[in-house]
Amino acid sequence: MPQPDPATLPLERKASLLSGGDFWSTQPLDEAGVAAVVLTDGPHGIRRQKAGADHLGFHASEPATCFAPAVAVGSSWDAELAERVGAAVGREARALGVGVVLGPGVNIKRSPLCGRNFEYYSEDPLLSGVLGAAFVRGAQAQGVGATVKHFAVNNQETERMRVSAEVDERTLREIYLAAFERVVTEARPAAVMSAYNKINGVPASENRRLLTDVLRTEWGFEGVVVSDWGAVGDRVAALAAGLDLQMPGPDEAHDAAIVEAVREGRLDQAVVDASVRRVAALARLAVASETGVDAVAADHHALAREVAADCVVLLKNDKYTLPLADGLRLTVVGEFAARPQFQGGGSSLVNATRVDTPLDALRSLGHLVTYVPGFTTDGTGDAETLREEAVRAVCGAEVAVVFVGLRGETEGVDRENLDLPADQVELVRAVAAVAPRTVVVLSTGGVVSLEGWHDSADAIVAGWLLGQAGGSALADVLSGAVNPSGRLAETVPLRLEDTPSFLNFPGEAGQVRHGEGVMVGYRHYESVGRAVRYPFGHGLSYTTFETDALSVDVTGDDTATVRLRVTNTGERTGKHVVQVYVATTAGRVRRPARELRAFTKVELRPGESRIVELLLERRAFAHYDIEADRWHVAPGAYTVQIGESAAEVVAEQTVTLIGDNIAAALSLDSAIGDWLAHPVAGPMLRAALMAEATEQERQQAEANGDMMEMVASIPARQFLHFPGVSVSTDDLTEILEATR
Ligand code: BGC
């Protein structure tokens, strides 16, 4: 039986649909056949609270698979992998009665200190957007909705519900909106979550420009805009701006405010109706029955292990320390080996179905392992005693594997520095001084400083937060069962002071100025030539790859096809990430030294070659032109570069693009130089200026051509008032007409 259009219901009923029915679900509207749909976190596993809902984690959630968080998946540079994670999370969502997953998070890692960086993919918008879109495709193919969050410019936790991110339009478009744009336009997520913060003074949840003009009008988004939990201050302003659903709920006061605003004519009824229809449409995702995840738990744990192994980044590997040969005497040191840190805190916390430890996993792979804790992270135990015990234990070993890391990384709190705890640093140095070979394995949700101990370690493995199977995955990589293929999705700087946001993070007096503009992450380091410990895109392998036969063909309307051959020249099967950057100085804006514009991951057997083809769309060459208010490909030369990382180019080719010539629209405020350069206005203005000149004056003006350069920046309006200028406002208006 066809259901009545929910928009025909009484206003009060409609308003009630626009805030949650409880902490995790929407209101049902029985009379219109609209069910309640459950929305829950997300992103790397399902946190389904049934026994009681809270935001503080007092109530445990149902068991679910904890996959590698985004910090790790970002380092995989593997869209297919992200899609498989999305699909598995989607399957578990359904099994747990969840219709809408609150993920992925595609905010940019602006500062390594952001406390939620473990939930985000990268400092680069292309990498974030491609992986986010893949996650959405995977999840939504299971019949659940995905929610891309936190829209937008939510790059810190300090004052996250009040701070205003002050950011210029070009930076907004090129850096902070780009990943959202890709996810929305390519993967069509069911929902977009508005952020807590303000953008240029306007709260994200009341930001009409973002929620309606950009998201719906420009990008064609048709789904639901949901608030971050508790983000809505002014419900009527939020609704008018384009925010459909307020979570959590119910919120009778806000419902009443909507009704009153409509009755008083302050809010258009049509706005309410449009939101009601969208929320009602979302409810088609409601899941009727729940089975729990037991049936898929074993398969998903195996998948979690496979995924995690492909996210590990081998940062350093001197003297062929890794992989660990069979039968070596190993001493494993460090609490993180026995009690792994595999996820961060906050709304994304998953009640894992099981947890693998690196220690057990190394033993089960047949290694002879002695274990000592080396330190504690809860303050119990004397650091010196534990360190001395560790030093004694490694004396008889062939290799020491030291597991260090951070505890307590959580939503809501930014980090204060990049350092590992001092006792862990001292431990690494002490162990490395006596062990024949030392491997350091890091478990961190973001980048940490490697200074002070980097040179004493023979091998360094970035193990991020790898989810519940991370322990086995690390053992797989250390032992060589899996070839490491992760690449840094974030630069490892030498010092916090070198990071581009250093002087403007986390802001002051309620504002955080994004003063570094588009120069975020590697864009900054490469543009200013600043040394880093490890660049964006870096990652070693147990095998070797070679790249050759690069060709770049401009294939149409400023798009290009990039072809190259990749060969596995080593002795192990492994995966290689092809990174395509574009470098240019075209256009009237300062471009970063190079920008990642395409990437793919290929698996090759020893000796195998493959021709890899990647498409560079127009956008790969464009910058956001704030005067024309659109993307613009400036005519000129563009160098397509294949990078081992953002800092190491192994092949390049330059192409020339016709670009789109935006003839600047002139006004009386345009500079006289722009008037003179204009194809129509220029000759007319020149003629007008010379209309009353004598032959001698004409010749003098020709000879003094460079005088025009001196006056080129004067606005036309002011230029008219210079003595000797015989052109009037009317003349200019007439010329303007001719240009239209
Ligand atoms: C977080 C969101 C999350 C929501 C629901 C908020 O605190 O910022 O990412 O989805 O809570 O738990």
Q: Which tokens hold the place of 118?
A: 């473990």
- Closest approach atom of ligand 1 to CA 105: 9
Which pLDDT band, with edges at 50, 70 and 90, does 431 fall under? very high
Q: Which of 443, 320, 347 is closest to 71 using CA atoms?
A: 443
With a cut of 70, say whether residue 718 has pLDDT above it: yes
247 Cα: distance to centroid of ligand 1 (angstroms): 10
With a cut of 90, say whether residue 219 has pLDDT above it: yes
Q: Which tokens hold the place of 346?
A: 């906050």
The residue nearest atom 11 of ligand 1, judged by CA position, is 229
Give the span between the Cα atoms of 463 and 356, in whole angstroms.
Answer: 14
193 Cα: distance to centroid of ligand 1 (angstroms): 9
- Closest approach atom of ligand 1 to CA 346: 7
3-state per-residue secondary structure call for 665-715: CCCCCCEHHHHHHCCCHHHHHHHHHHCCCCHHHHHHHHHCHHHHHHHCCCE
Helices 729-739 and 681-690: angle between axes, nearest 10 degrees? 150
Q: Using one digit for the tens of pLDDT, what is the confidence trace for 540-579?
A: 999 999 999 999 999 888 999 999 999 999 999 999 999 9
With a cut of 70, say whether residue 458 has pLDDT above it: yes
Q: Which tokens hold the place of 175?
A: 């850096």
Q: Which of 391, 385, 446 is closest to 420 using CA atoms?
A: 446
340 Cα: distance to centroid of ligand 1 (angstroms): 24
Residue 422 neighbours by CB under 8 Å, 6+ apart:
none
Residue 266 neighbours by CB under 8 Å, 6+ apart:
236
The residue nearest atom 2 of ligand 1, judged by CA position, is 228
DSSP structure class, residue 32: G
Q: What is the pLDDT of residue 55?
A: 62
- Is the model more confident about 327 or about 537? 537
509 Cα: distance to centroid of ligand 1 (angstroms): 25
Q: Which residues on neighbouring strands pair with residue 118, listed in sequence order?
A: none
The residue nearest atom 6 of ligand 1, judged by CA position, is 229
Please state the rounded mean pLDDT for residues 316-324: 97
Pairing of strands 100-101, 191-194: unpaired
CB 37 within 8 A of CB 94: no
Number of residues that this document lists for the chain: 740
Q: Using one digit for the tens of pLDDT, what is the confidence trace for 600-620?
A: 999 999 999 999 999 999 999
Q: Using one digit for the tens of pLDDT, what is the confidence trace for 94-146?
A: 999 999 999 999 999 999 999 999 999 999 999 999 999 999 999 999 999 99
- Closest approach atom of ligand 1 to CA 147: 10
Beta strand extents in 605-635 (DSSP E only)? 609-616, 623-625, 630-632
Q: Using one digit for the tens of pLDDT, what is the confidence trace for 390-429?
A: 999 999 899 999 999 999 999 999 999 999 999 999 999 9
346 Cα: distance to centroid of ligand 1 (angstroms): 8
Q: Using one digit for the tens of pLDDT, what is the confidence trace for 329-347?
A: 999 999 999 999 999 999 9
CATH architecture of 10-46+61-284: Alpha-Beta Barrel (3.20)
The residue nearest atom 12 of ligand 1, judged by CA position, is 347
Please state the rounded mean pLDDT for residues 353-359: 98
Which of 293-302, 414-423, 665-674 shows the lowest mean pLDDT across its residues? 665-674
Cα-only R_g, the chain: 29
Q: What is the pLDDT of residue 59?
A: 67
- Closest approach atom of ligand 1 to CA 47: 12
Please state the rounded mean pLDDT for residues 424-446: 98
With a cut of 80, say whether residue 661 has pLDDT above it: no
Measured in degrees and rounded to the nearest 5, phi and psi for residue 4 equal -65, 150
Pocket around ligand 1 at a 6 A CB cut-off? 41-42, 102, 149, 228-229, 347
Sign, CA dihedral 304-308-310-311, equals: positive
Please identify which of the residues 41, 78, 124, 228 carries the catalytic annotation: 228
With a cut of 80, say whether residue 519 has pLDDT above it: yes
CATH architecture of 545-657: Sandwich (2.60)
Q: Using one digit for the tens of pLDDT, what is the confidence trace for 47-88?
A: 999 866 666 655 689 999 999 999 999 999 999 999 999 999
Please state the rounded mean pLDDT for residues 161-174: 98
Q: What is the pLDDT of residue 710?
A: 81
The residue nearest atom 9 of ligand 1, judged by CA position, is 347
Please state the rounded mean pLDDT for residues 374-403: 95
Q: What is the pLDDT of residue 271?
A: 98
CB 109 within 8 A of CB 71: no
The residue nearest atom 3 of ligand 1, judged by CA position, is 347
Q: What is the pLDDT of residue 327?
A: 85
Active site residue 228: yes
The full set of domain ranges for the chain reads: 10-46+61-284, 310-528, 545-657, 672-739
Give the span between the Cα atoms of 516 and 375, in whole angstroms.
Answer: 39
347 Cα: distance to centroid of ligand 1 (angstroms): 5
Give the span between the Cα atoms of 656 and 634, in whole angstroms.
Answer: 10
Give the span between the Cα atoms of 522 and 537, in whole angstroms.
Answer: 9
Give the span between the Cα atoms of 461 and 440, in whole angstroms.
Answer: 6
Within 10 angstroms of residue 371's Cβ, the number of other Cβ atoms is 18
Please state the rounded mean pLDDT for residues 511-517: 98
Q: What is the pLDDT of residue 379?
A: 87
The residue nearest atom 7 of ligand 1, judged by CA position, is 229
Domain 310-528 has CATH 3.40.50.300: no
CB 657 within 8 A of CB 620: no
- Closest approach atom of ligand 1 to CA 160: 8
Please state the rounded mean pLDDT for residues 241-261: 98
Most confidently predicted of 41-50, 105-114, 665-674: 105-114
Ligand 1 mutation target, pool 119, 155, 197, 228, most atoms within 8 A of CB: 228
CB 231 within 8 A of CB 194: yes
Give the span between the Cα atoms of 114 and 122, in whole angstroms.
Answer: 12
Average model confidence (pLDDT) for the chain? Answer: 95
Please state the rounded mean pLDDT for residues 14-24: 96
Which pLDDT band, with edges at 50, 70 and 90, does 705 fall under? low
Task: Indicate the Cα dihedral angle 616, 619, 622, 626, nearest 10°.
Answer: -170
CA atoms within 13 A on the CB side of 689: 22
Give the span between the Cα atoms of 387 and 376, in whole angstroms.
Answer: 10
DSSP structure class, residue 352: B
Pairing of strands 368-372, 329-333: parallel
Which pLDDT band, with edges at 50, 70 and 90, does 451 fall under? very high
Q: Using one digit for the tens of pLDDT, what is the confidence trace for 550-561?
A: 999 998 889 999
- Is the model more confident about 694 or about 502? 502
33 Cα: distance to centroid of ligand 1 (angstroms): 28
- Is the model more confident about 724 or about 426? 426
With a cut of 70, say whether residue 447 has pLDDT above it: yes
CB 477 within 8 A of CB 312: yes
Beta strand extents in 334-421 (DSSP E only)? 368-372, 399-405
Is this model's pTM higher than 0.75 or not? yes
Percent of the chain with pLDDT over 70: 98
